[in-house]
Structure 1
Amino acid sequence: MARWRRFLGAAAAALTVASMGTLMQASPASAADDGPQQVVGGTTATQGEFPFMVRLSMGCGGALYSSTLVLTAAHCVSGTGTNTSITATIGVVDLQSSSRVTRKSNYVYRAPGYNGNGKDWALIRLASPVTGYATLPIATTTAYDTGTFTIAGWGAASEGGGQQRYLRKATVPFVSDATCNSSSMYNGQIIASNEICAGYAAGGVDTCQGDSGGPMFRRNASNAWVQVGIVSWGDGCARPNKPGVYTQVSFFASTIASAAASLGG
């Protein structure tokens, strides 16, 4: 069964910036099904390589949309409203680094109409701005929704594994909607209008549990990073013919921008 790529279970409640950090992806399933997901088959990122990466204390990832907003997955949050319980860790590869920057949340905005089937995005507003770190622009057209993408996170490095201390990265190729929805892959489960698949038919490289909400991104025509996806779900991690499934950011770009403006970001 498909599983969200949020890190759940006994460790989730105790997740702290000092102890957790592996890239993982999740799929729509019950907590009982959830296995650890991280960037499987990747390598450790270098300090400063992806300054927009954010680790969230509930066991998810995210990206700096602005100095006060983090873009993540809807399934990582409980709903829209005041929320002061989330800690965001920013600016480091090593979650235990003394130079890490942390901010508490003060509000969460979850995609309107989210019910666990598509629309998997949310914005977390930070209690105070972070400065000196690059934000990650989102794709506003489908121009960059194909090709080769970069994924990164602190989720599990293998299916069922633990969260990572150091940020990991990998590259994955685009998989067409038709291929991803074929009987050999997800057999019609993909929402073609607003989800993107990426991965290798042979498996081996993928996001995993703990990577949910993190960005999938690539270079644009100006060689700058642009976010095209949000880690959402998948069947296990890095299994053959089971690519990762990501929220298609370009489809929601205008709605995300409007929500960000309403939050002052």
Structure 2
Amino acid sequence: MKNVLRALKRCAVTGAIALAAVSLQPAGATAAPTPGSAGTQPVVGGTRAAQGEFPFMVRLSMGCGGSLYAKDIVLTAAHCVSGSGNNTSITATAGVVDLQSSSAIKVKSTKVLQAPGYNGSGKDWALIKLAKPINLPTLKIATSTAYNTGTFDIAGWGAAREGGAQQRYLLKAKVPFVSDASCKTSYADLIPGEELCAGLPQGGVDTCQGDSGGPMFRKDNAGAWVQVGIVSWGNGCARPNYPGVYTEVSTFASAIAQAAAGL
């Protein structure tokens, strides 16, 4: 039977449209908290990102994170959306680290595509088509496992502590790769090849509730950002010996490209 952690994800709200944290590393074993007022304290182990530092970051109105896969398409987590089809209920906010900034770019969704075959376990990716393009840099995705190693960057507006409030300012942190073998000792139901893990053995840095759907990324050999993971789930936030679990983007790169072409 699948672990109960699967049902909780890293969401800021409960229900079909859930969201996980990308601010620093929580992996949701506890019930998802209700979004509170935005705070200014660091995310779990994180610090504030500078304006323009991660221009591809997107905040979604259901309480999830995301990244600009294309100027008019956001890549997020499957558990953040309720299914596929026409959808004008989601607002994407981009271009700012301060969600209350008057410079924020806000664009409505038109369609959603949830990963085919998604059933709450693995395949945790989705695409959101926007009503108009956002003229900001996009984040390319990994097409091989070559970058599934080393130290990753995470960022988001999720809770700064387990059970905490959502954040007003974008927070960032770094987490190291954790091997599948090591991660399986914490999560027996990890799906190697579809999921990868990152976090410190002592905890203290992680994504958390409200970061779901946001990117885990690093520099490629040319110094450009490349997305290797999508914030998915975990046991609490930044707990010792419980790293964050992320969708392994390279596994689904072809499917994501095909889906985006059809939106």
Q: Read off the aligned partner of 1:33 and give its amino acid letter.
A: A
Structure 1 CA distance for aligned equivalents of residues 14 and 209 of structure 2 = 11
CA distance in 2: counterparts of 1:77 and 1:225, whole angstroms: 26
Matches of 1:218 and 1:161, distance apart in 2: 27
Question: Superposition pairs for residues 38-77 of structure 1, below 5 Å?
Answer: 39-77=43-81
Partner AA of 2:9 in structure 1: W
Partner in structure 2 of residue 233 of structure 1:
233
Aligned equivalents of 2:150 and 2:82: distance in 1?
33
Deviations 1:91-148 (CA, angstroms, capped at 9, x unpaired): 00000001000000000000000000000000000011111x1100000010001110
**Paired AA for residue 147 in structure 2:** Y
Contact 1:6–1:24 at 8 Å: present in 2 too? Answer: no
Rounded to whole Å, the distance in 1 between the matches of 2:163 and 2:86 is: 33
Give me the TM-score of the superposition, normalised by structure 2: 0.90
CA–CA distance in structure 1, aligned partners of residues 139 and 200 of structure 2? 25
What fraction of aligned residue pairs are identical, expressed as a percent?
67
Is the contact made by 2:87 and 2:109 (CA closer than 8 Å) also made in structure 1?
yes
Aligned equivalent of 1:124, options 101, 122, 128:
128
Go from structure 1 to structure 2 and tell me whether the alpha carbon gap of 1:262 and 1:26 turns closer, same or farther (over 3 Å shift). Answer: farther
In the alignment, what sits opposite 1:33?
31
Q: CA deviation at 1:23?
A: 3.0
Matches within 5 A, 1:107-186: 107-131=111-135, 133-182=136-185, 185-186=186-187
After superposition, the C-alpha distances for 1:188-228 in whole angstroms (9 at most, x for unaligned) are: 21101110100001000000000000000000000000000
User: Secondary structure in 1 aligned to 2:251?
Assistant: helix
**For the structure 1 residues 25 and 82, does the alpha-carbon distance in structure 2 shift closer, same or farther, using more than 3 Å as the test?**
farther
Q: Which residue of 1 aligns with 2:10?
A: 5
| Aligned mates of 1:142, 1:22 — CA distance in 2 | 21
Give distance in 1, aligned partners of 2:231 and 2:138. 18
Question: Is contact 1:36-1:159 (8 Å) kept?
Answer: no
By how many angstroms is 1:33 displaced? 2.0
What is the CA-CA distance between 1:40 and the residue it aligns to? 1.0
Query: Quick one: structure 1 residues 67 and 125, their matched pair in 2 at CA, closer, same or farther if it must change by over 3 Å?
Result: same
1:232, CA displacement in angstroms?
Answer: 0.1
Calculate the aligned-residue CA RMSD, in Å.
2.3
Distance in structure 2 (CA, Å) of the matches to 1:127 and 1:250 = 27
Consecutive unaligned residues of structure 1, counting only runs of 5 or more, are: 14-20
How far off its partner does 1:27 sit?
5.6
TM-score by length of 1: 0.89
Matched, 1:85 2:83: no
Aligned residues: 250
Report if the CA contact (8 A) 1:40-1:156 is conserved.
yes
Partner of 1:17: none
How many angstroms apart in 2 are the aligned matches of 1:33 and 1:209? 9
Hey, what's the Cα distance between the residues in 1 that align with 2:243 and 2:92? 28
